[in-house]
């Protein structure tokens, strides 16, 4: 029987299921970032916030081009978010709230509590944490067919840590950095579905990202799929390149969800030297 389950973690988990999320990475390497503990953590592509939620630094700048995501985080920060009482694990319910959400997008009514509730529920009930929009900016992720759904009810813990965090909805090039920032860049994967928001994130955007990074004097860690053109781009621009094996969770076929190679690159510091200390 389908069920909704309260999930209470000893440590905070990301509030979203997120395709390409880095919870697995932070579970392995969170202590590697201890040398940067006094810096503000900046996530130009906030997504599920696995990086910052795991580290829980005092100051975070979490930015994302997806306005629905930032609206949700701000609703939590402002202590306005709560779960609606009609949440049901069913295909019919999912497509009803997806239609409601898309109606609000069409009407440009995407700020506030109800859009945040709808976006969060669509994420929890939709396919495998996939966040996908069509060319008209309408949400088109399909239903996920789960037997049970884990929910986070301990909102007060997130409200508390979010109080000193800043959430912004901008293109990454508009982010204003200080000398006291560490950048964790987890852009949409090269070669993956590029419509993570209405705006297209194609290879030109990856090139712009590297160019923007190189103009900053901050330590930067960036992760991506090791496609040939990404490898060439990072190498040509002088980023230090390493590889990790990452879990693959997006495939609908459970038998094909084996580990896959992940590229990790650093700039203005050496990731390879850093992990030797842990």
pLDDT in tens, 9-33: 557 889 999 988 999 999 999 999 9
What is the pLDDT, as a whole number, of residue 28? 94
Main-chain dihedrals φ then ψ at residue 199, nearest 5 degrees: -80, 135
Percent above pLDDT 90 for the chain? 75
> 3-state SS string over the chain?
CCEEEECCCCCCCCCCCCCCCCHHHHHHHHHHHHHHCCCEEEECCCCCCHHHHHHCCCCEEEECCCHHHHHHHHHHHCCCCCCCCCCCCCHHHHHHHHHHHHHHHHCCCCCCHHHHHHHHHHHHHEHHHCCCECCCCCECCCECCCCEEEECCCHHHHHHHHCCEEEECCCHHHCCCCCCEEEEECCCCCCCCCCCCCCCCCHHHHHHHHHHHHHCCCCEEEEECCCHHHHHHHHHCCCEEEEEEECCCCCCCHHHCCCEEEEEEEECCCHHHHHCCC
The whole-number pLDDT of residue 8 equals 53
DSSP 11: S
pTM of the model: 0.91
Q: What is the pLDDT of residue 58?
A: 96
Indicate whether 5 pLDDT > 80: no
pLDDT of residue 248: 67
Reply yes or no on whether the pLDDT at 274 is more than 50: yes
Task: Show the tokens assigned to 63.
Answer: 């930015």
- Examine the pLDDT at 249 and tell me if it is beyond 80: no
pLDDT at 115: 98
Tell me which CATH code domain 3-275 carries: 3.40.50.150
Looking at per-residue confidence, does 251 or 223 come out higher? 223
pLDDT, tens digit, for every residue of 179-217?
999 999 999 999 776 556 666 789 999 999 999 999 999
For residue range 74-133, what is the model confidence (pLDDT) as tens digits? 999 999 999 988 888 899 999 999 999 999 999 999 999 999 999 999 999 999 889 999
Q: Mean pLDDT for the chain? A: 90
pLDDT attached to residue 1: 33
């Amino acid at each position: 029987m389908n069920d909704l389950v309260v999930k209470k973690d000893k440590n905070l988990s990301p509030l979203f299921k997120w395709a390409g999320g880095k919870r697995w990475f932070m579970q392995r390497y969170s202590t590697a970032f201890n040398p940067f503990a006094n810096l503000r953590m900046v996530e130009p592509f906030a997504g599920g916030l696995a990086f910052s939620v795991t580290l829980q630094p005092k100051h975070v700048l979490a930015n994302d081009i997806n306005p629905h995501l930032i609206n949700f985080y701000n609703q939590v920060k402002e202590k306005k978010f709560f779960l609606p009482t009609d949440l049901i694990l069913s295909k019919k319910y999912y497509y009803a709230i997806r239609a409601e959400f898309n109606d609000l997008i069409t009407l440009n009514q995407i700020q506030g509590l109800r859009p945040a509730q709808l976006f969060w529920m669509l994420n929890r009930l939709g396919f495998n944490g996939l966040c996908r929009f069509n060319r008209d900016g309408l949400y088109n992720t399909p239903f996920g067919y789960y037997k049970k759904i884990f929910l986070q009810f301990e909102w007060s813990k997130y409200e508390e840590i979010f109080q000193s965090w800043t959430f912004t909805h901008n293109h990454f090039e508009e982010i204003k950095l200080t000398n006291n920032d560490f950048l964790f860049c987890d852009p949409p994967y090269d070669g993956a579905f590029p419509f993570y928001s209405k705006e297209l994130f194609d290879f030109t955007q990856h090139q712009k990202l590297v160019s923007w990074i190189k103009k900053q004097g901050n330590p930067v860690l960036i992760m991506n799929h090791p496609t040939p053109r990404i490898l060439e781009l990072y190498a040509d621009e002088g980023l230090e390149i390493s590889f990790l094996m990452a879990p693959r969770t997006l495939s609908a076929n459970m038998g094909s969800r084996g580990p896959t190679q992940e590229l990790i690159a650093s700039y203005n510091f050496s990731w390879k030297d850093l992990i030797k200390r842990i």
